[in-house]
């Protein structure tokens, strides 16, 4: 009997010479190799795991009799083009598409629009692919569960859905059974990254997400012994970065054992070096302990305290289950007190969100202790999320545009033959397009002034001492033509927001600075620093804040504001600075600021306070090095300011 050759395509994002192993494809291959009744008649080719010229991908797959594609938003269009060209060159090849980007609704339209696709798969792929291969020679697709196809008479057929796999341990580990051995041997210079799941399922049903909808809420788990063996495999194979694909890692009691094992392997073998998770929404003592272990071992990539919105109407209509803001404040304070870095996600353009609720939400999150980073994400529509339904979109008046997907900090030299496309919401019935621009600008201005640390010290002090909200502090920097430099920053953000609204790219290109795509706030930070504009910026910033405080009839703020700004200005990390600075201030500003970050209240006191800003520990010898290591790599770590220590006070 002739051997049937199988090609697998799971194109992941690459980072320089670092590439993810094609985990989903590995699961499919491992499952088929174990359970096929006639397994000796099938041969798996090396998978396509990254973006390469389409002609090379097609050439590598022309020997395949069946090609299986795992598709999501980041690889959908290139996968379609590869599949199309395979079919044009080998009409008898069977093309199979699965993954979250395959629509569960209007699959008929999807297949007829892409006639080179023979089979569309729905849900978990292991049993489905196994059944497709078992029926491959007879082409009896009606016997295969959870698929859609167009039959020989042109009729759309959708078979009954297969239930989820409740015993995940029936799925062999692609790592442990050697699925990736040939791939790694053929690509010995590649630094491999790992995708990993310890369980499947999500108990939540957020309307913008396709996770809960895909897994029907129930969580199933792999055995702990299997997971420990996979961790050993990561260590043995010197896998630096492991991305955990669980929807809510930490939700199970045994997850603490997993992080303890990871930490022990890091100590013993040095690998893995980092472990990234989507954390459980409920912070129990177990979760606190888990993050402490990860942080102490240097494995923590930042704790996500995601809220997406704190507007009650928005939370209701997106079916989101947030922790109460008071709980968020407690969690934030506790993690910060233990030197565990966090960040918070807010999504721009959700149902029932207004400019006011969005700006107030960000202000409240900062006021509740989030001073490291808020990621202001643009709302993107996923096909199998509830929000992907046209009726849902009409109900909330979504204004949707299509735009190319550009990776943050991605190279401008990318020679993409096919760009991926996303659908962004750029206006709603509660946030008209003009208000969307205003909200987008507010997000960038917040990032630049507070999270990029240009004015975080005076913002915290003014908020604490005079009760001014962070929203009001940020808004005084918008649309004020009395201050030329500040107005130019505002105008830059407005222009970029309007560009996105018209289908432009989410990030800003800069051939001058590392030849990459920058977030708007980071590029503006670079322009201010490299353009020798910081002195002018801080002069205008002091004047504009002073005007605001004066308008509120506040008294005795001048010296506090001036010293706060002066301290902040000297704290900004810049290249070519190798001498420490000692400052004498009239107030204990640094102490009050640091205490505030940890949720501790100490009074602002007048006296003589001496501080040493330690610049000599790290010196950047070029602006390019500074752009890369401070602005880019420091993005989620708040690494924009120098260390400062109190020397003496009275």
Q: Answer whether residue 650 shows pLDDT above 70.
A: no
d(CA 352, CA 364): 18
Lowest mean pLDDT among 135-139, 205-209, 557-561: 205-209
pLDDT confidence of residue 186: 97
Task: State both tokens at 219.
Answer: 């969580």
For the chain, the straight-line distance linking the first and the last C-alpha, in angstroms and rounded, comes to 90
DSSP structural state of residue 514: T
Is the confidence at residue 639, as pLDDT, over 80? no
SS3 (DSSP) at 500: helix
Q: What is the pLDDT averaged over residues 128-141?
A: 95
Q: State how far the Cα of 573 lies from the Cα of 644, in Å rounded to an integer.
A: 12
Evaluate the omega torsion of the peptide bond into residue 272 and state whether it is cis, within 30 degrees of 0. yes
Q: How far is CA 77 from CA 57, 99, 283, 420, 421, in A?
A: 14, 13, 39, 6, 8
CB 303 within 8 A of CB 372: no
Interval 67-115: pLDDT, tens: 999 999 999 999 999 999 999 999 999 999 999 999 999 999 999 999 9
Instruction: Name residues whose C-beta falls within 8 Å of residue 489's C-beta, 6 or more positions apart in sequence.
Output: 445, 448, 477, 524, 528
What is the Cα–Cα distance from 619 to 176, expressed in whole angstroms? Answer: 44
pLDDT at 579: 87
In whole angstroms, what is the distance from residue 229 CA to residue 520 CA? 43
Q: Which residue has the tokens 């009074």?
A: 603
Is the confidence at residue 1, as pLDDT, over 80?
Answer: no
Q: How many CB atoms lie within 10 A of CB 421?
A: 12
Task: Summarize the confidence of residues 298-318 as an average pLDDT.
Answer: 90
Tokens of 150: 């167009």
Distance CA 225, CA 198 (A): 11
Report phi then psi at 482, rounded to 5.
-75, -15
Over residues 395-424, the mean pLDDT reads 91
Residue 280 has pLDDT above 80, yes or no: no
Distance of CA 41 to the CA centre of its chain: 41
Average pLDDT of the residues in 380-405: 95
Locus of tokens 């989410």 = 506
The two three-digit tokens of residue 637, written as one number = 């770590």
Give the Cα separation of 80 and 68 in Å (integer): 12
pLDDT per position as a tens digit, 144-171: 999 999 999 999 999 999 999 999 999 9
289: three-class secondary structure by DSSP: helix
Residue 366 phi/psi, 5-degree rounding, is: -65, -45
pLDDT recorded at residue 213 = 53
Task: Tell which wins on pLDDT, 576 or 635.
Answer: 576
Q: What angle do CA 598, 599, 602 make, to 5 degrees?
A: 100
27-66 as b/e: b if 16+ CB within 10 A: bbbbbbbebeeeeeebebebbbbbbeeeeebbebbeebbb
Which ranges in 513-557 belong to alpha helices (H)? Answer: 520-530, 534-551
Q: Which residues contact 533 (CB under 8 A, 6 or more apart)?
A: 485, 527
On the CB side of 255, how many CA atoms lie within 13 Å of its CA?
25
Q: What is the mean pLDDT of residues 482-492?
A: 97
Q: C-alpha distances in angstroms, 45 versus 51, 346, 499, 585?
A: 17, 42, 43, 68
pLDDT of residue 469: 96
Q: What is the average pLDDT value for the chain, to the nearest integer?
A: 93
Q: Is 228 left (phi over 0), alpha (psi -120 to 50) or beta?
A: alpha
Q: In which region does residue 479 sit, left (phi positive, over 0), alpha (psi from -120 to 50) or beta (all else)? A: left
Q: Which distant-in-sequence residues (6+ apart) come within 8 Å of 326 by Cβ?
A: none
Q: Note the pTM of the prediction, 2 decimals.
A: 0.93
The mean per-residue pLDDT over the stretch 533-558 comes to 94
What does each C-alpha distance from 145 to 27, 125, 521 come to in angstroms? 18, 10, 49
Buried/exposed 108-123: b ≥16 CB within 10 Å, e otherwise: bebbeeeebbbbbbbb
- What region does 131 belong to: left with phi over 0, alpha with psi -120 to 50, or beta? alpha
Residue 410 near residue 516, CB atoms below 8 Å: yes
CA–CA separation, 42 vs 65, rounded Å?
Answer: 10
pLDDT at 637 over 60: no
**pLDDT tens by residue, 410-463:** 888 777 789 999 999 999 999 999 999 999 999 999 999 999 999 999 999 999
Residue 563 vs residue 647, higher pLDDT = 563
- Distance between CA atoms of residues 200 and 154, nearest Å: 36
Q: What is the mean pLDDT of residues 383-407?
A: 94
Q: According to the model, what pLDDT value does residue 366 have?
A: 97
**What is the pLDDT confidence band of residue 642, given thresholds at 50, 70 and 90?**
confident
What's the pLDDT at 442? Answer: 98
* DSSP β-ladder status, 400-404 and 374-378: unpaired
Share of residues in the chain with pLDDT > 70 (%): 98
> For residue 572, what is the DSSP state?
B
What is the C-alpha to C-alpha distance for residues 253 and 245, in angstroms, rounded to an integer?
18
| Strand partners for 646 | 611
Q: How many CB atoms lie within 10 A of CB 640?
A: 20
Predicted confidence (pLDDT) at residue 247 exceeds the cutoff of 80: yes
Give 551's pLDDT tier (boundaries 50, 70, 90). Answer: very high
pLDDT tens digit string along 193-238?
A: 999 999 998 888 899 887 755 545 689 999 999 999 999 999 999 9
Are the beta carbons of 496 and 524 closer than 8 angstroms?
Answer: no
* Per-residue pLDDT at 636: 52
Q: Give the whole-angstrom CA distance, residue 552 versus residue 468.
A: 10
Of 46, 62, 51, 65, give the one whose Cα is nearest residue 8.
Answer: 46
pLDDT tens digit string along 309-358? 999 999 999 998 888 899 899 999 999 888 888 899 999 999 999 999 99
Q: In angstroms, rounded to a whole number, what is the distance separating the alpha carbons of residues 592 and 615?
A: 21
pLDDT at residue 476, as a whole number = 96
How far out from the chain centre does Cα 323 lie? 20
pLDDT of amino acid 635:
60
| pLDDT score, position 647 | 85
188 pLDDT band (50/70/90 cuts)?
A: very high
Tally Cβ neighbours within 10 Å of residue 309: 23
Per-residue DSSP letter, 65: S
pLDDT given at position 120: 98
Residue 148: name the closest of 124, 118, 126, 125 by CA.
118
Q: Look up residue 479 and give its two tokens.
A: 């649309």
157: β partners: 149
CA distance 274 to 299: 4
pLDDT above 80 (res 645) = yes
If pLDDT is split at 50, 70 and 90, which confidence band does 643 have? confident
User: How are strands ordered across the β-sheet holding 374-378?
Assistant: 303-304, 342-348, 374-378
């Amino acid at each position: 009997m002739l051997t049937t050759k199988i090609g697998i395509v799971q194109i992941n994002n690459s980072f320089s010479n670092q590439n993810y192993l094609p985990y989903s494809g590995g699961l499919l291959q491992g499952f088929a190799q174990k359970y096929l009744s006639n397994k000796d008649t099938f041969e798996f080719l090396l998978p396509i795991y990254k973006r390469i010229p389409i002609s090379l991908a097609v050439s590598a797959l022309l020997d395949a009799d069946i090609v299986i594609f795992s598709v999501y938003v980041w690889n959908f269009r290139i996968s379609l083009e590869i599949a199309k060209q395979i079919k044009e060159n080998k009409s008898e090849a069977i093309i199979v598409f699965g993954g979250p980007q395959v629509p569960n609704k209007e699959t008929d339209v999807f297949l007829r629009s892409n006639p080179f696709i023979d089979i569309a798969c729905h849900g978990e792929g292991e049993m489905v692919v196994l059944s497709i291969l078992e029926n491959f020679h007879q082409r009896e697709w009606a016997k295969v569960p959870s698929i859609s196809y167009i039959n020989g008479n042109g009729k759309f057929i959708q078979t009954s859905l297969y239930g989820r796999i409740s015993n995940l341990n029936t799925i062999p580990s692609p790592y442990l059974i050697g699925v990736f051995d040939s791939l790694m041997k053929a690509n010995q210079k590649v630094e491999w990254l790992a995708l990993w799941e310890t369980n499947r399922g999500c108990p939540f049903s957020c309307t913008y997400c396709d996770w809960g909808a895909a897994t029907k809420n129930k969580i199933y788990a792999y055995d702990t012994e299997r997971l420990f063996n996979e961790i050993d495999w990561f260590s043995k194979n010197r896998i630096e970065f492991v991305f955990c694909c669980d929807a809510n890692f930490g939700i199970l009691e045994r997850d603490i054992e997993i992080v303890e094992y990871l930490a022990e392997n890091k100590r013993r073998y040095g690998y893995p070096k980092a472990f990234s998770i989507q954390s459980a929404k409920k912070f129990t003592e177990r979760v606190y302990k888990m993050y402490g272990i990860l942080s102490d071992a240097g494995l923590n990539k930042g704790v996500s305290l995601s809220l997406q919105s704190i507007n009650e109407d928005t939370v209701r209509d997106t079916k989101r289950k947030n922790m109460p803001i008071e709980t968020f404040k407690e969690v934030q304070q506790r993690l910060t007190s233990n030197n565990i870095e966090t960040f918070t996600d807010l999504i721009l353009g959700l149902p029932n969100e207004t400019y006011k609720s969005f700006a107030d939400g960000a202000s409240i999150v900062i006021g509740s202790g989030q001073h490291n980073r808020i990621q202001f994400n643009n709302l993107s529509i996923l096909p199998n999320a509830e929000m992907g339904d046209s009726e849902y979109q009409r109900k909330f008046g979504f204004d949707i545009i299509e735009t190319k997907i550009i990776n943050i900090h991605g190279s401008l030299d990318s020679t993409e033959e096919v760009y991926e496309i996303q659908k962004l919401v750029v206006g709603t019935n509660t946030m008209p397009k003009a208000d969307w621009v205003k909200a987008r600008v507010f997000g960038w201005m917040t990032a630049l002034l507070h999270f990029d640390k240009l004015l975080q010290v005076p913002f915290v002090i003014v908020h604490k001492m005079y009760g001014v909200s962070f929203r009001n502090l940020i808004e005084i920097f918008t649309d004020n033509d009395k201050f030329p430099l500040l107005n130019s920053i505002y105008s830059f953000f407005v222009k970029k927001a309007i560009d996105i609204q018209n289908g432009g790219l989410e990030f800003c290109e800069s051939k001058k600075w590392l030849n990459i795509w920058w977030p708007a706030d980071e590029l503006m930070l670079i322009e201010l620093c490299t353009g020798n504009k910081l002195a002018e910026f801080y002069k205008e910033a002091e004047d504009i804040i002073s005007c605001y405080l004066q308008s509120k009839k506040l008294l005795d703020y001048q010296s506090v504001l001036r010293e706060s700004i002066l301290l902040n200005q000297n704290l900004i990390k810049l290249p070519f600075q190798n001498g420490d600075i000692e400052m004498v201030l009239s107030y204990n500003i640094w102490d009050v600021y640091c205490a505030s970050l940890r949720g501790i209240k100490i009074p602002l006191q007048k006296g003589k306070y001496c501080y040493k800003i330690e610049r000599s520990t790290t010196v950047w010898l070029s602006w390019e090095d500074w752009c890369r290591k401070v602005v880019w790599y420091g993005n989620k770590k708040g690494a924009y300011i120098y260390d400062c220590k109190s020397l003496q006070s009275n």
